Structure 1
């Protein structure tokens, strides 16, 4: 049995992993899908004080208190920045580190720096609709979610704290020494900001896979995604 820790992206929560969580559990694996502070069912905790370190602690504390060893750590989208930090600080507990259509920030660079215009569109959204400090969700259509799930995703998504994507990463480099590192690209979304990280994975010799779907591959292709994750057990 392998323990999987699956970390969601911006505006989402544990709910987005339900299908993959069920499929992995049916194979006898432990599956943990923490919701980051201030999002989804924890949206009542969203304040200006929630920052990148808060979300890193959400996941690092789960790993520490559950005394996980030899885990498969997966980060989707913004969650890539979280798992990268966790792996950097808890390298000895990680069997596999998987970036799922995710940000892979270098030391000193924020998530926003990897977006067009340094994320100006998200900053503007925060000013217009989030009091300047929280970002309203992008639509499911903008993320390429399949039409059947799009209304559900729009209902479930919640505000995201802007500061978490403005703060530069603090990476020492241990995360890149994890023995098994991979990147899974969603190739069904045009002009994806995540193609640049697939190129990073290629340069570094990480294993790479692609799924022909939108950004929310755990919703669009849960069976295929689960099959890729099970290869790491």
Structure 2
């Protein structure tokens, strides 16, 4: 049976693993929850002298004490940084690294890069540039944990205990870059995804399918993946299920991701579900126009893709069959369809993505084949947050706004809660602007909650909202659900938008 060496996330000590450790021990495993210096009460030290390297040394010492046996390192949240640092230094003694609802830290990148609060991240980055690593970051209040990760499933008593035992995080642990030689990359890995925190295996597969070389390592045959239907703290919300998954991970089990070029057509490259005319594209900078054969300037529909998407994704969204299909469907209805690429590659990129969309709309309106006074903008998925600007102050020429399976309020752990990218709040300023909303009946609960909140807000303020449902549709339903299920809703939505453009 493996030796599990477990490292907790920011502000939390070894105590969070108690229930999970008990279950692993009962199953015959050996468990060591590592107390981190200046965070855990069992290892006090002046915080100003503690950095990431200190915590790497804490984990390395635990590995040395258990060497000679099969060691599984488990890192949660911030804990993956000292785990990977220690695995890099003791790769020959580590059988597997488990990434528990956390990212893939890279060499030279500090843990600060994973801090969700963008304002806090920027403030601390300024300190790092000055070389000021002293001080601590205070732990969140009881109602503030949600901004660091979903608390779904955590019992009230456990959340109370988490808050009561939370400790300040030494800034050096967040600001000191992770230094890796590459040896840790040779250690087999397992990813445990907590779906209520926003990521699933299917979504991860989609990210791999976009073709970004940086994600190719996830398709290694030694990399397995599991899901837990809970929030960011599974050791508190479902410790028994987490223990079961860790035992399976230690045995090398888990779902494998399909590499690109495997012969399976990725979802985003599958055909559009409707027959549409094969109009050629007219490429202008970061925009493609699909122009119907008609006299005089025509109204236009500008299609805004979702995200965040990897920067290296190829082909880029404006060439995806879904967006091209929508644009050609618009042209078949007698209006100009426009697709575009914007730079939403991370949740920190909404500002520049919004600027890209504005520039694209301006470019479309400047085309002599477009009626400058009759334009609709249509948002998809994570691009839905970009709709907030257009709802908050719709110009007179914006005749309709549409959205398909959109995110309409920022998840708490995206660090955007106080930003302007909040359509639920913006809709009260939409006035008479018609809003066509395509809803997926089998949407993920987290996204569905934002759509429900938007619908309620729109109804409360008397906004002109037209919901159109795909009852059995999933997120991205155009290429994942049967055409007969999706097609009628797509035609109805497009004709509604065109009606608003031509009225």
TM-score of the pair, normalised by structure 1: 0.85
CA–CA distance in structure 2, aligned partners of residues 28 and 40 of structure 1: 26
CA 103–118 in structure 1, closer or farther in 2 if over 3 Å, else same: farther
Larger Rg: 2
- Give 1:212 shift: 1.5
Q: 2:150 aligns with which of 127, 136, 144?
A: 144
CA–CA distance in structure 2, aligned partners of residues 201 and 221 of structure 1: 29
CA 21–201 in structure 1, closer or farther in 2 if over 3 Å, else same: farther
CA–CA distance in structure 1, aligned partners of residues 123 and 25 of structure 2: 36
SS in 2 for 1:182: strand
SS in 1 for 2:41: helix
> Is the deviation greater in 152-161 or in 201-210?
201-210
Are 2:217 and 1:217 aligned? Answer: no
* 2:2–2:69 CA contact under 8 A, matched in 1: no
- Partner of residue 173, structure 1: 182
CA–CA distance in structure 1, aligned partners of residues 103 and 186 of structure 2: 18
- Partner of residue 79, structure 1: 79
- Give 1:204 shift: 2.3
* 1:5–1:73 CA contact under 8 A, matched in 2: yes
Describe the superposition over 1:171-210 as per-residue Cα deviations: whole angstroms up to 9, x where unpaired. 11111111x211111121259xxx98x9676752221122
CA 190–169 in structure 1, closer or farther in 2 if over 3 Å, else same: same
Mind listing any 5+ residue stretches in structure 1 that lack a counterpart?
A: none
- Partner of residue 120, structure 1: 121
CA 223–136 in structure 1, closer or farther in 2 if over 3 Å, else same: same
* 1:99–1:184 CA contact under 8 A, matched in 2: yes
Mind listing any 5+ residue stretches in structure 2 that lack a counterpart?
A: 128-132, 209-213, 252-503
TM-score of the pair, normalised by structure 2: 0.41
- Partner of residue 204, structure 1: 218
- Give 1:62 shift: 1.7
Q: Note the 1:46-57 alignment, pairs <5 A.
A: 46-57=46-57
- Partner of residue 162, structure 2: 153
SS in 1 for 2:226: strand
CA 79–45 in structure 1, closer or farther in 2 if over 3 Å, else same: same
Describe the superposition over 1:76-133 as per-residue Cα deviations: whole angstroms up to 9, x where unpaired. 1101011111111111111111010124211111111244538527739x9xxxx962
Are 2:99 and 1:99 aligned? Answer: yes
* 1:101–1:215 CA contact under 8 A, matched in 2: yes
Describe the superposition over 1:42-68 as per-residue Cα deviations: whole angstroms up to 9, x where unpaired. 464242001111100011012113434
- Give 1:153 shift: 0.9
- Partner of residue 230, structure 1: 247
- Give 1:167 shift: 1.2
- Partner of residue 20, structure 1: 20
Describe the superposition over 1:126-181 as per-residue Cα deviations: whole angstroms up to 9, x where unpaired. 9xxxx962011133343333242211111011100011111111111111111x21
The count of corresponding residues between Structure 1 and Structure 2 is 224
* 2:110–2:178 CA contact under 8 A, matched in 1: yes
Runs of 4+ in 1 over 4 A off after TM superposition: 198-203
* 2:231–2:237 CA contact under 8 A, matched in 1: yes
CA–CA distance in structure 2, aligned partners of residues 165 and 118 of structure 1: 15
Structure with the bigger RCO (C-alpha within 8 Å, sep 6+) is 1
CA–CA distance in structure 2, aligned partners of residues 121 and 136 of structure 1: 16
Question: CA RMSD of the aligned region, Å?
Answer: 2.8
Q: 2:194 aligns with which of 178, 183, 186?
A: 186
